[in-house]
Chains A and B, each alone.
Chain A
């Protein structure tokens, strides 16, 4: 009796000792998890602060007020007021004359170049449009707010340190003095940069916008979705519900799984060889981009589609068969609706990956410098990640913030897609 009590005592003690070890291990295990999550959050926070702090200024733009003198001698010396004459007139000369007249202290080639360089070269187009819209301006003068040049823009936004030696900054002492003077005269304004969302790419950073890349991305994704969703779902349904299980379907399955892991640039090469060189489709167009991206997204959609079809309980299939449903009715009435939330999630994950893809699109020429915003599947265009890549390579200081701005637009686009995925999934799940 005492022996067994003593024995129990030691057992209890051993258990107690092992419990302490177990709890310690448990705590450590949790601590690792918390640490991992914290590190992840830290990186995300770092990424976001870095991008946003660099990029938010891309959504603002500096404007400079210039008193423009519409001298008739320069615009329409004959006085005909014909549209062609007004169209062909040298508005650069008009602008330069106005600037010279207003700031006579600038003399000499270098100074004048600085003076002319303060406004963006889009100014002459602005003046031309104003005159064409209202020829009565000729002979008069008015104050026009013109887009500042990228360097001036950077300086006004505080991106260029004035304390640097003159040789180390893109803006001269003379220009700084002039900008200061303009600012004290309230002739410098920072406005919301609408052009960033409405303009295409440009060599001049202050005129460059993401509209072209955004439209290109939307068209390319639309094309990719149009192709890969129906084909992917059809393939997933066939392989999961109808195909016999034999060597051939095993080979197909292995191949699909391998395709999902193929580097995306290989799909770009395939697209180049097949769609452009063999079928003779044009380069740099969303049509071919969409085709290439759908090649890339198809395996993802098929694999996730099959997984979500597999997750539908077999009892539902039995119930449908037991009621006399044909295999097609079984799939269309019961299994596919139940699998749809999963299929949609997979599709949107695939699309999000396609949206961020640049390598395969480089291969098919979507890396070209394209100013016009594309309006159709066969208009030359680029896409957001490629635009980011192009801007990141540009030497102008002002493209740095544009790059970050474009990254923010891309992330916003992704966030929107994920939100749509979540909403769609919830809606379909609530229906049954």
Chain B
């Protein structure tokens, strides 16, 4: 048994070498073509043949995937597998990185977001983002939530703005905790509260999709549980894409799961199936904890 396992590991590492580069290397080839169902009916976002290069290095290799409405899709995979990179393609956050080059097509409601006519400000109003480390603006709680509606001109007057702020904080499950101190700085909240404030800030502009890049990695278990509950509630109104290192979290909050490996999308499928009956060997190795 131990010997068999050992051999397995060796094979995998060979596979890694093979995947990284020289096709002529001898050894067992691991199929990197995506298995599972990448398409869904009436997707919000559909990405096709997306490649991302950082200079010479290819970070994403021919990834195609759909994001469904009112559902959570989790991107899992070992560190450096490209899941965050791919997530950041979905609202063009990679534009700020000087030598990043994106090819392929990513369509949001049918229109290509990398098209010349696509306004980046409008795109980010439709595709919100929550980051790994809570990053509220060093302003008041109110200002944090009101910022998006203000710059996008969503509120006609102060009363409207108050309403949006209150509604967003309620949706983020933060209202009861902060309603008496809206003028206090957002940076004075606890880590979990800060992250929920960032979620409130994202939903204040009423986006269609919310991207979450490891939103709970800086939080303690209790705060994590709260954010996970929140994600489950938000699913009613938004499509959510979440990148996570925590496989239990992926299993808890998502309906679909995508497994990335060294820039390849290995497998996509219903979360339950991925975790109980993965079809690809790399997926199986990862979720059973053999590497990653």
> Interface on A for B, CB 8 Å cutoff?
244-245, 313, 315-326, 329, 333-334, 338, 432
Q: Are B137 and A322 in contact (CB under 8 A)?
A: no
Report B86-124 CB contacts with A as 1/0, cut-off 8 Å: 000001010010100000000000000000000011111
Q: How far is the CB of B218 from chain A (nearest CB, A)?
A: 11
Q: Is the CB of B137 within 8 A of A319?
A: yes
Across-interface contacts of B290 in A (CB, < 8 A): none
Contacts of A316 in B (CB 8 A): 135, 137-138
Residues of chain B within 8 A (CB-CB) of A322 are 91, 93, 124, 128-129, 131, 202
Contacts of B139 in A (CB 8 A): 432
Q: Cβ of A317: which chain B residues have Cβ within 8 Å of it? A: 96
Which B positions have Cβ atoms within 8 angstroms of A? 91, 93, 96, 98, 120-125, 128-129, 131, 133, 135-139, 147-148, 151-152, 185, 187, 198, 201-202, 205
- Do B135 and A315 touch (CB < 8 A)? yes
Q: Are A323 and B135 in contact (CB under 8 A)?
A: no
Task: Give the distance in Å from the alpha carbon of A325 to the alpha carbon of B202 in the complex.
Answer: 12
CB <8 Å contact, B96 and A321: yes
* Closest Cβ neighbor of A429 among chain B residues: B138
A-B contact count (CB 8 A): 61
| Residues on the B chain within 8 Å of A321, using CB | 93, 96, 124
| Distance (whole angstroms) from the CB of A185 to the closest CB of chain B | 71
CB atoms of B133 and A315 under 8 A apart:
yes
A53 to chain B minimum Cβ distance, whole angstroms, is 49
Residues from chain A with a CB closer than 8 A to the CB of B152 are: 324
Chain B residues closer than 8 Å to A338, beta-carbon distance: 138
- Could you say which of A245, A319, A325, A326 contacts B135, with CB atoms under 8 Å apart? A319
Given contacts A244-B98, A325-B151, 12 further A-B contacts (CB under 8 A): A245-B98, A315-B133, A318-B93, A318-B131, A319-B135, A322-B91, A322-B129, A322-B131, A323-B128, A323-B205, A325-B121, A432-B185
Asked if A323 and B131 make an inter-chain contact with CB atoms under 8 angstroms apart, the answer reads: no
CA separation between A315 and B152, bound complex, in Å? 21
- A323-B124 contact in complex given A318-B131, A329-B151, A432-B185, C-beta closer than 8 Å: yes
A318–B135 CB distance below 8 A? yes
| Beta-carbon nearest neighbor of A325 in chain B | B151
> A250 → chain B, closest Cβ, in Å?
14
- Between A and B, 26 residue pairs with Cβ closer than 8 Å are A244-B98, A315-B131, A315-B133, A316-B135, A316-B137, A316-B138, A319-B131, A319-B137, A320-B137, A321-B93, A322-B124, A322-B202, A323-B124, A323-B128, A323-B147, A323-B148, A323-B151, A323-B202, A324-B151, A324-B205, A325-B121, A326-B121, A333-B151, A334-B137, A432-B185, A432-B187
- Cα separation A324 to B122 with both chains bound (whole Å): 7
Chain B residues with CB below 8 A from A320, complex form: 137
Q: Report the bound CA distance from A432 to B137 in whole Å.
A: 9
Known contacts A324-B122, A324-B125, A334-B137: A319-B198 contact under CB 8 Å:
yes
Query: How far, in whole Å, are A322 and B123 apart by their CA atoms in the complex?
Result: 10
